Structure 1
Amino acid sequence: MNPSLYSPPALIAIGAALGALLRWQLGLRFNPLFAQFAFGTWLANLLGCLLAGIILGLLLVGKPLTQPLQNALTVGFLGSLTTFSALSSEVSDRLLHKDWLHAGLILSLHTICGITATLLAAAAVQRLIRS
């Protein structure tokens, strides 16, 4: 196996490619379900928040990932899976169409669900490891 495949940039790039492909698939499959809400973007962000919570939970119980793996997952995979720019674009589109209700709902759902998912995942990991 080529040692350069294990270099930080290579691991981050591999993680980013996998995250981007998953995000793309989620968008293809779920965004068409609702006209006013990009469900695939929400799922991508929610999944990313859950995974970030798992990584945070491991860190909090003193079982952090190795730095190369953490970089591949957080900077690479989660960095391309989750997307603030898509969220910003979707909310801005609703605002430009004076659709205040959907703009507020989209922003609220992403924020509240994302933070809740991160906290729940971190707490679950802590509880599982400590029990």
Structure 2
Amino acid sequence: MKNLLLIFIGGGLGSCCRYLLSLWLNTPASNFPLGTFAANVLSCMVLGFASILVIEKLELSTHIRFLIMTGFCGGFSTFSTFDSEIFAIIERDNYLSSLIYAVISILAGLGALFIGMTIGNKVIS
């Protein structure tokens, strides 16, 4: 039950951060949903960093893992919004923009995960 509460708290914080980031970065005229992109990439970086630091280096409790990795990162990133924004771009007949957004998002997420893991490895060596 404690893990569910921690996931709930982390997820709520992550969702609020994603919402605020989208308010700040998304513009109605843009074909590129920068807020969702930034949230997903940052979430990958936090997840990579936490996976190294929380699990391997500091060996923190599973409670902290649930709070940060499952809760916060799960709430901060959003696959459903990512897909719905790709669909909205396609509906505006911007096929190339939708493809670019999808590919860049996936590659940037993988890169951010790697960067986060690299930073995590360097923090406590």
Q: Which amino acid aligns with 2:13?
A: L
How far does residue 74 in structure 1 lie from its aligned partner after superposition?
1.6
Are 1:55 and 1:64, in contact at CA under 8 Å, matched by a contact in 2? Answer: no
Larger radius of gyration: 1
Asked which structure has the greater RCO (Cα within 8 Å, sep 6+), the reply is: 2
Figure out how many residues of one structure are paired with residues of the other and give that number: 125
Are 2:55 and 2:65, in contact at CA under 8 Å, matched by a contact in 1? Answer: no
Which residue does 2:20 correspond to in 1? 25
Name the % identity.
26
Which residue does 2:75 correspond to in 1? 80
Gaps of 5+ in 2: none
Correspondence list, 1:1-131, <5 A: 7-32=2-27, 35-58=30-53, 61-130=56-125
- TM-score normalised to the size of structure 2? 0.89
Measured against aligned partners, the alpha-carbon deviations of 1:70-123 in whole angstroms (never above 9, x if no partner) come to: 011122111111000011111112223321111011111211111001101101
CA RMSD of aligned residues (A): 1.9
Q: 1:33 and 1:65 mapped to 2: Cα distance? A: 42
Q: Which amino acid aligns with 2:34?
A: F
Measured against aligned partners, the alpha-carbon deviations of 1:25-66 in whole angstroms (never above 9, x if no partner) come to: 011111117511111111111110110110122267443331
**Deviation >6 Å, runs of 4+:** none
- TM-score normalised to the size of structure 1? 0.85
Gaps of 5+ in 1: none
Change (3 A) 1:50 1:33: farther
